[in-house]
Structure 1
Amino acid sequence: MRRIGFLINPVAGMGGAVGLKGTDGQVEEARRRGAVPQAERRARIPLDILAGNPDLLFFTASGEMGESLLAKAGITQFQVVHHYRGESAAEDTRMAVRRFLEEGVDLILFCGGDGTAREIFDVAGREVPILGIPAGVKMYSALFAIDPATAAEIIDSPTQYTLRDAEVMDVDEEAYRRGDLQTRLYGVARTPALPNLTQVSKQVFEEGDEERAKKEIARFIGEVILPDTVYILGAGTTTEAIASHIGVKKTLLGVDVVKNGSVIAVDADEKTLVDLLETEDDARIVISPIGAQGFILGRGNQQISPRVVERVGVNHIIIVATPHKLRETPMLYVDSGDPALDRSFGPSVQVISGYRIAQRKRIYQPGQG
């Protein structure tokens, strides 16, 4: 019987939809803005799948850190090895992981973001493989499954997965909220991986050709922008180049809204976008996949939620990326939190990569491999 340490960060991801770009130190502000917990919903998906595997024994923490959800999923083979009171804290994560190691777990499965990954790695290091169910806001580290369901697929395939090195990234959230992306390598964990089912760490490309390519993309988008149409611009330097070309200033790591050459919403959260779309007849979303990871939705742009996409329409999403980024991105991924919406993107999508130039890029669909 395989022994799995299981943990949830109950507040992971709460800052995403409300535009906080992270939840570390911002839980109360996220709640004030109307954020709702995401981690339990995300973690329930793989647990429902793993409930049918009799070869797994889980070790977990009490309450919302794991015990409650294991019981809800109908999993009976688990032991609570760490108890806490009140609201869980980072030290509860570390204490639970210490108990996991004492119990000799074969793998640690957690649901959270980069902050949770760092806390687990602080204790486990490379001693035990770590696999993340993505539920945070950014998730730049390389030990996350591409979506919750594939975390279960990896664990259910012990004879097929391999262990590989996975970068654990440290992101300065205060700088990130100011629009300055500062990352450093925090450590290198081990993670179980199946082909295409575990994300790689984010890459940022800085080349002269990159800047020229962004300007060419921006020039083309500038030509095809429609009057009286709302354009929701996702995060990144490519969308920033588009904004610059049409004469407006964009928040680099936020979501801004433009109409008729003017910014009508800056660093918008999900509620702002939904409210805007209630009064607008026509809208488009312009987004760029995260470098090397290839995520269109679900990493760093949770403000563009399923509710927002449904109002705009998948056919009105414009994806932009430079040729270099596309060469380094084997396929694209969608992890919006709504599996039906993710599937509606189909097997491939057109990506604008230059002036009147586009490439068709494959989108990963569960079961394709």
Structure 2
Amino acid sequence: MTTVGFLVNPIAGMGGAVALAGTDGQSAEALRRGAVPRAADRAVQALSALPGQDVEWCTCAAPMGEDVLAAAGIDHYTVLYRPAVPTGAADTKAACRAFLAAGVDLVVFCGGDRTARDVFDAVGREVPILGIPAGVKMYSAVFAVNPAAAADLIHRAGEVPCRDSEVMDVDEEAYRSGRLTARLYGYACVPYIAERTQGGKQVFEQQDEERAKNDIAAFIAEIMIPDALYIIGAGSTTARIMERLGLLPTLLGVDAVRNGEVVARNADERTLLTLLDEHPRAKIVVSPIGAQGFVLGRGNQQISPAVIRKAGLQNLIVVATPGKLAATPLLYVDSGDVALDREVGDSLQVVSGYRIAQRKRIVHPE
């Protein structure tokens, strides 16, 4: 039987849908903007999928773990740590130290990159760690690709190999101002199964990549429909589309464009839904995260399941350069709505140049 130390960062991911690009130090502002906590739901989704009772659980009191275990129907656990209210990084680290003292075999946490860093600070490489993805960005390679994959990895812990995986330290203040500043924080030991454990993000800046971005931008600008609303997701490839239109992009946010003019900059979910009420004919343009392959659910939570359903899944346009696609063999969707993720299907056509597209396989770990 595997002994698992389990904790939840209750505020993780709240900043995504309300266009805060992260939640570190911003939980009060996220709530003011109408954000809804999502980490607990993501954790319940993962733990509810575990087959049988083959895990001995150690956890934290109330919202940092105990509530999730109860909601997932798990009634045999030991509470080893009682956090302060509200919880913070110090609680994550203290809980992990308590898990280590209890001799756990694996530390499972639900959160984002900052939570991963705090867990790593306390655990290091003494035991494997695994993240249930609930943050905004999640550039670290310590997360399962979705809650169902996390359940499989937990169930098979001790049987599957571990690998050294990057823990990334992302500067959220810089991120909010449109600059991606990340450094390697360390290498954690993480259970690894292909198509279950996500990779680290890669950035592509070669000369040929820049030419490909220009070609993609020229093609998308050419096929834009008059009076239609275009929701432009985050990334350097989608930013080039905005620049082709003579518009200033929000590199790490979501913009909305109609008839060559910006109608919303760095829009949140609520703004996008309002715009879709006013302009029901719409397209959504996104680019997968390099190497990780996530089309939805990483860094673009403003484009929520409600937004996608309102615009129509058939109006989703995915763009990526050939270099990015070559380093990204598989695509994933983790929108938070399992039914919607399934509706995306088993493959997507990705625009990779001027009137050029590639069809890429989508993996649904369930």
What TM-score does the superposition give when structure 1 sets the normalisation length? 0.98
Gaps of 5+ in 2: none
Q: What is the match of residue 165 of structure 2? A: 166
Aligned to 2:283: 284
- Taking a change above 3 Å as real, the CA distance of residues 171 and 85 of structure 1, as seen in their structure-2 partners, is closer
Structure 1 residue 334 corresponds to structure 2 residue 333: yes
Question: CA-to-partner distance for each residue in 1:275-299, whole Å, 9 max, x for gaps?
Answer: 1101113000000000000000000
2:172 is equivalent to residue 210 of structure 1:
no
Q: Distance in 1 between matches of 2:304 and 2:252?
A: 16
User: What does residue 13 of structure 1 align with?
Assistant: 13
- Measured in 2, the distance between the counterparts of 1:28 and 1:184 equals 27
1:160, CA displacement in angstroms? 4.6
Q: Is residue 2:148 matched to residue 1:142?
A: no
Match of 2:274? Answer: 275
Give the alignment's TM-score, normalised by structure 2.
0.98
Equivalence for 1:27: 27
**For residue 246 of structure 1, what is the aligned residue in structure 2?**
245
Secondary structure in 2 matching 1:291: coil
* SS of equivalent residue, structure 1 residue 363: strand
CA contact (8 A) 1:240 1:250 kept: yes
Q: SS in structure 2 opposite 1:143?
A: coil
The Cα shift of 1:365 comes to 2.0
Shift of 1:157: 1.9
Contact 2:145 2:197 in 1 (8 A): yes
Tell me how large the CA RMSD over aligned residues is: 0.9
1: CA distance between counterparts of 2:326 and 2:85?
48
1:211 and 1:43 map into 2 onto residues whose CA distance is 39
Answer yes or no: is 1:47 the counterpart of 2:47: yes
Q: Judge which range, 245-254 or 261-270, deviates more.
A: 245-254
Query: 2:212·2:322 contact (CA, 8 Å) conserved in 1?
Result: yes
- Which residue of the partner structure matches residue 102 of structure 1? 101
What is the deviation of 1:47? 1.2
Structure 1: 4+ residue segments shifted above 4 A: none
87-96 vs 352-361, greater mean Cα deviation: 87-96
Name the structure 1 match of 2:75.
76
Alignment match, 2:234 = 235
- Secondary structure of the corresponding residue to residue 328 of structure 2: coil
Matched, 1:343 2:331: no
2:198/2:292 contact within 8 Å kept: yes
Query: Which residue number corresponds to residue 178 of structure 2?
Result: 179
**1:306 match:** 305
After superposition, what is the alpha-carbon deviation per residue over 1:114-149, rounded to whole angstroms, capped at 9, x for unaligned?
010000100100111000000000100000000011
- Following superposition, the deviation at residue 89 of structure 1 comes to 1.3
Aligned equivalents of 2:280, 2:86: Cα separation in 1: 43
Kindly provide the amino acid, as one letter, of the partner of residue 18 in structure 1: V
| Identity score, percent | 59
Letter in 1 for 2:14: M
Write the deviation string for residues 268-327 of structure 1: whole angstroms up to 9, x where unpaired: 000000011011130000000000000000000000000000001111001000000000
Spell out, residue by residue over 1:229-279, the C-alpha distance to the aligned partner (whole angstroms, 9 max, x if none): 000000011011111111111111010000001000000000000011011
| 8 A Cα contact 1:22 1:136, kept in partner | yes
The residue identity in structure 1 corresponding to 2:40 is E
* Superposed displacement of residue 76, structure 1: 2.0
Cα displacement (A) at 1:84: 2.4
- Partners of 1:3 and 1:41 lie apart in 2 by 22
* Aligned-partner Cα distance in 2 for 1:129–1:214: 39
The offset of 1:77, in angstroms, is 2.0
Q: Match of 2:140, SS?
A: coil
Distance 1:170 1:140 in 2: 9
8 A contact 2:54–2:155 mirrored in 1: no
SS at match of 1:219: helix
Whole-Å separation in 2 of the counterparts to 1:85 and 1:91: 9
User: Unpaired runs of 5+ in structure 1?
Assistant: none
Structure 2 partner of 1:361: 360
Partner amino acid, structure 1, of 2:176 = R
1:215 partner amino acid: N
SS at match of 2:238: helix
Q: Deviation per CA, 1:145-200: give whole Å up to 9, x if none.
A: 00011100111123652100110000000000000000000110010011111111
Match of 2:66 in 1: 67
- Distance (Å, rounded) in 1 between the aligned partners of 2:233 and 2:42: 23
Q: Secondary structure, in 3 states, of the residue corresponding to 2:148?
A: helix
CA distance in 2, matches of 1:53, 1:211: 50
Match in the other structure for 2:265: 266
C-alpha contact (below 8 Å) 2:64/2:83 kept by paired residues: no
